[in-house]
Structure 1
Amino acid sequence: MTFALTCENLVKRYDGTAVVDHVGFHIDTGEAYGLLGPNGAGKTTTISMLVGLLRPDEGSVHVGGIDLASDPIAAKRLIGYVPQEIALYPELTARENLRYFGRLYGLGRRRLAVRIAEVLEAVGLTERGDDKVQTYSGGMKRRANIGVALLHEPRLLILDEPTVGVDPQSRVAILDSVEGLVADGMSMLYTSHYMEEVERVCTRVGIIDKGRVVADGTRRELVAELGGTDKVDLVLEGDVDTAAAKLRTVEGVTDAAVTGQNTVRLLAVGGRHLLPALLAAVEGTAQVTGVEVIEPDLEAAFLHLTGSTLRD
């Protein structure tokens, strides 16, 4: 099987210190893959090697089966790269920027005209295509930046923090555009400091910390590394202490503690499935007036694996 991207044992050293230390992962064709890590984890350096801006000290990168080191031009033709910084000419309109970059990509005049119209539609800028980029909001500039990366119909789109510094409305518009590309089968590498974006867009996630990939898998697989323990809060009326003691005996419950005047917090495996047994256990002792099940999420898995939050 030919993957959209494969990197193996990537190493980059500065002053003898490995800031990227044998990083490896792959992206399936048509897959959106999220790369997460705290600041300084090595994400940007890794991406710079994936797109050919930095030469790795060790390791290899293949894009669509093409070795980036031995055939960089062919490999780069398959990549659309959206960097963190806006890479547009502000004095030009969006359409003029697209025309300029399209010629650099080698697109013919007729084909380029078609692609410009398609790209402006894809990123929601058709009506503003003839306005200068310097008049755009931050979110519109980022959408135009994505448009440039899409012009040559790449097989792999790499987006490095595409929503950083934009207002909430623009962020929603960018995510809608990205989701549309994923739905159309675009292979994608996506980094963000917003966990909810990665959960929304990506089917698989790699977590990088201190230059190494410490976990790789689906959201469910990463969360499973926490042991699958849910928190279940039961609000009770009645003998709360006795109810807590009974709840500890339910199979699947690892702990039950009174956390408030009328609340018992349980730690349990498969909390939602245990609810009938939990209700039965307190029957005759207390009445359940409220239930909340708190399942571990990707943020919790990230904290567990790296010891920090995503924005640290």
Structure 2
Amino acid sequence: MSSIISVSQLSKTYASGLHALKRIDLEIRRGEIFALLGPNGAGKTTLIGTICGIVRPTEGRVLVDGHDIGTDFRAARSLIGLVPQELTTDAFETVWATVSFSRGLFGKPPAPAHIERVLKDLSLWEKKDSKIMTLSGGMKRRVLIAKALSHEPQVLFLDEPTAGVDVSLRRDMWALVRRLRETGVTIILTTHYIEEAEEMADRVGVISKGEIILVEDKTELMRKLGKKQLTLQLAQPLDSVPPGLEAYRLELAKGGTELTYTYDAQSERTGVTTLLQQLNGAGIVPTDLHTTQSSLEDIFVSLVKESHA
């Protein structure tokens, strides 16, 4: 799959001496949903701002569908829609006027049918004549998305799009993002809600201290770095883990009636079967068992801890 955004050796150092970005290389595939994760201050917003031409890099290059954001800004920027974190829009304008004006800023001719479709997709049609100042926080965030989509971009950046909104609105936005991707729009999402990335992303990138520490397909990331646990309920309590089973690093809990085995994808196929065979040979018969799997949040936390170590 071809790349629609190509970032090469991108760095940003502020006058204060802060190294916000450190020689970042990143390829965003055309038509994917890419989740950029990282703790506060990791460089997520700086990276997005630099790709969008809002922040001037210290060094490096950004191409948007082959257009250099530095030397061919107008062509590159016209392909990008940006939904910022801050709710910044003219409080005294109507929804229709502010979204239509955003389209005009990109030199696009009026397209009432397109604006109508965007507002209806975002459940804003009934508010089209309302002033921004009268809207709820969630509605204002929808307006930001409508403004970003007004000029029909090929790439949409969503910087913490569901911060501070309720669960219902968050799920509405997830559905909208999926529909946009189906039309060919590439989505880059930064979020603090790991469930958002887990629910929607095709690939995940993790940024920490201005450096990309990992980029991976989400399913492959879960397979390689995710941990599973097999918990066995025992009919007869044990005083200790039976001899010969030390290699499994089993944990005994709940008065000796619960035995837990933690394993990864590499040991899954043979480890569980062999363990159950050995337990049976030792006369230990479980009355029940269940498995759990680590979430993307667990993986993210461990990756960031390792990068800070």
TM over 0.5: yes
Question: Is 1:67 equivalent to 2:68 in the alignment?
Answer: yes
Q: Does the 8 Å contact 1:248/1:255 carry over to 2?
A: yes
What secondary structure is seen at the aligned counterpart in 2 of 1:245?
coil
Cα distance change of structure 1 residues 176 and 220 upon mapping to structure 2, 3 Å threshold? closer
Q: For the residues of structure 1 that align with 2:9 and 2:210, how far apart are their CA atoms?
A: 11
CA distance in 1, matches of 2:128, 2:234: 60
2:24 alignment counterpart: 23
Which residue number corresponds to residue 245 of structure 2? Answer: 248
How many residue pairs end up in the alignment? Answer: 301
2:224–2:264: 8 Å Cα contact kept in structure 1? no
Cα distance change on mapping 1:163 and 1:94 into 2, 3 Å: same
What secondary structure sits across from 2:30 in the alignment? coil
Q: Hey, what's the Cα distance between the residues in 2 that align with 1:172 and 1:223?
A: 22
8 Å Cα contact 1:225/1:301 also seen in 2? no
* In 1, Cα distance between equivalents of 2:159 and 2:243: 51
- 1:298 match: 296
Question: Is it true that 1:168 corresponds to 2:167 in the alignment?
Answer: yes
The unaligned stretches of length 5 or more in structure 2 are: none
Consecutive unaligned residues in structure 1, runs of 5 or more: none
Matches within 5 A, 1:1-312: 2-14=2-14, 15-109=16-110, 112-224=111-223, 226=225, 228-241=226-239, 244-245=241-242, 248=245, 254-261=248-255, 262-270=257-265, 277-283=274-280, 285-307=283-305
SS of the aligned residue for 1:294 comes to strand
Identity of aligned residues (%): 34
Task: Measure the CA separation in 1 of the matches of 2:222 and 2:167.
Answer: 28
Q: Kindly report structure 1 stretches of 4+ aligned residues shifted beyond 6 Å.
A: none
Q: Secondary structure at the match of 2:26?
A: strand
Cα distance in 2 for partners of 1:258, 1:295 equals 19
Structure 1 residue 6: deviation in Å? 1.0
C-alpha change, 1:247 and 1:29, in structure 2 (3 Å) is farther
- The one-letter amino acid of 2:210's match is G
Secondary structure of the corresponding residue to residue 3 of structure 2? coil
Distance 1:247 1:9 in 2: 52
Determine the C-alpha separation between the residues in 2 that align with 1:102 and 1:299: 37
Shift of 1:184: 2.6
Query: What is the CA deviation profile of residues 169-196 of structure 1, one whole-angstrom value per residue up to 9, with x for unaligned ones?
Result: 2222222212221233210110000000
Q: Following the alignment from structure 2 to structure 1, what is the Cα–Cα distance between the partners of residues 244 and 94?
A: 65
Aligned CA-pair RMSD:
2.3
